């Protein structure tokens, strides 16, 4: 079919629309209790419980913008069908709220509609992670009105990998190969007429395998089998590792990304005698880094335990949970329902990749509890957790805290 005419650009962020959007978003996700704690320096004392909030936590600007645009789309296109590519962010409560507003998903585990059945009258929202080039092209071919909420930090990474591709440099992407953002970034690395290439490394162990191949070569077939789901089509390590440039999923742990960069540079230097065939740019999201730094600051004077709140499929929240576990008893929870009793808690085991239960999690007597949350976690969920915690500790009148 021939491509429909480009859709007219619509300004969703008019003052009238945004006034209503802000009211709706605030009613769904705002927390007066959390704001009061922020205003008091992030520390609150309630009976025998001292609560410490990290200086930076919860919704970042990119997430707020994505949610605002989704709500604005529902307001402006009130009489049209609205669809979303995957999840707007990695928080099930937020995604459930959008579903309740009649926004249906086109891809992912909760898929409710098909791209090939879209019409020019339909509206499609691109999430904060972005979307793969092929997916966006299919949507454009249907002639839909597109609302693009892709985070600016993500698009900065895309700019880098496109430049790598144009210069004949293979992108080594530190990230999760099956994460929406990394898939979107990888598809941009295939630019330059499809001649670009990429390889995704998840951790230092995988980076070390790449380093070993850079220095010494190796079993090509075994290497390709190892990374078969994490490299570009027709990737050849003997050809496409000659010039490499590092990029990353913006929500990865900064210290690990920097170590990946250091090891890959050292391997190129060991092979070539210089780093002329190595490139790197700092593409860690500022909000991700702020939340990691704030947690490290809190852990310098550690609380008795940490609660890390957020979606279990949130990469930046997972890293916060792993950082906290290195210093104190820490529990990665989805919401207040995970605090089942003063003895039982359900939490996500980031290594086993499943929710588990633990007993004896909440000590008796005076206690200091640290709380942080990923960039996709709204403040109302943090308030729910705080109130449940205080009830379990027997703090009276928590409804008026």
Beta partners for residue 306, in sequence order: 330, 370
**Using CA atoms, how far apart are residues 341 and 319, in angstroms rounded to an integer?**
26
206 catalytic per annotation: no
**Using CA atoms, how far apart are residues 362 and 127, in angstroms rounded to an integer?**
37
- The 3-state DSSP class for residue 43 equals strand
Instruction: Please give the structure tokens belonging to residue 333.
Output: 């929870």
**Using CA atoms, how far apart are residues 372 and 358, in angstroms rounded to an integer?**
20
HSE (side-chain half, CA atoms, 13 Å) at 303: 29
Residue 1 CB partners (closer than 8 Å, separation 6+): 141
Maximum separation of any 2 CA atoms in the chain, in Å? 70
Q: In this structure, are residues 182 and 210 in contact, taking their beta carbons and an 8 Å threshold?
A: no
Place of tokens 């570009």: 232
**Using CA atoms, how far apart are residues 288 and 223, in angstroms rounded to an integer?**
32
**Using CA atoms, how far apart are residues 341 and 359, in angstroms rounded to an integer?**
9
Q: Report how far Cα 185 is from the mean position of its chain's Cα atoms.
A: 13
**Using CA atoms, how far apart are residues 313 and 342, in angstroms rounded to an integer?**
26
Report the sign of the C-alpha dihedral through residues 95, 98, 102, 106, in that order: negative
Catalytic position from the list 87, 132, 180, 181: 181
Catalytic residues: 181
């Amino acid at each position: 079919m021939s491509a429909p005419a480009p859709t007219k650009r619509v300004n969703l962020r008019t003052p009238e629309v945004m006034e209503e959007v802000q009211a709706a978003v605030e009613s769904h996700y705002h927390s007066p209790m959390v704001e009061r704690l922020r205003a008091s320096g992030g520390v609150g004392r309630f009976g025998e419980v001292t609560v410490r909030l990290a200086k930076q936590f919860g919704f970042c600007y990119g997430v707020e913008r994505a949610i605002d645009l989704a709500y604005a789309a529902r307001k402006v296109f009130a009489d049209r069908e609205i669809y979303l590519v995957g999840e707007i962010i990695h928080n099930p409560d937020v995604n459930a709220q959008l579903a309740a507003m009649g926004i249906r998903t086109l891809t992912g585990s909760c898929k409710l509609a098909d791209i090939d059945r879209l019409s020019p009258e339909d509206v499609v929202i691109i999430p904060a992670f972005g979307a793969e080039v092929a997916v966006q092209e299919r949507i454009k071919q249907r002639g839909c009105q597109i609302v693009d909420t892709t985070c600016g930090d993500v698009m900065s990474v895309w700019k880098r990998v496109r430049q790598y591709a144009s210069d004949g440099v293979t992108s080594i992407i530190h990230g999760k190969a099956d994460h929406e953002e990394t898939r979107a970034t990888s598809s941009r690395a295939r630019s330059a007429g499809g001649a670009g290439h990429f390889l995704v490394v998840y951790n230092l162990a995988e980076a070390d395998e790449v380093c070993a191949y850079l220095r010494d070569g190796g079993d090509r077939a075994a290497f390709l089998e190892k990374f078969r789901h994490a490299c570009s089509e027709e990737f050849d390590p003997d050809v496409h590792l000659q010039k490499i440039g590092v990029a990353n999923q913006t929500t990865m742990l900064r210290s690990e990304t920097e170590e990946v960069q250091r090891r890959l540079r050292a391997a190129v230097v060991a092979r070539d005698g210089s780093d002329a065939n190595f490139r790197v740019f700092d593409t860690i999201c500022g909000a991700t880094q702020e939340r990691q730094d704030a947690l490290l600051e809190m852990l310098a004077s550690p609380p008795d335990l940490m609660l890390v709140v957020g979606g279990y499929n949130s990469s930046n929240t997972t890293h916060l949970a792993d950082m906290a576990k290195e210093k104190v008893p820490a529990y990665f929870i989805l919401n207040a329902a995970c605090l089942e009793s003063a003895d039982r808690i359900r939490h996500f085991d980031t290594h086993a990749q499943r929710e588990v239960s633990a007993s004896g999690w909440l000590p008796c007597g005076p206690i200091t509890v640290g709380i942080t949350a990923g960039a996709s976690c709204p403040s109302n969920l943090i308030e729910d957790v705080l109130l449940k915690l205080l009830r379990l500790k027997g703090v009276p009148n928590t409804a008026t805290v």
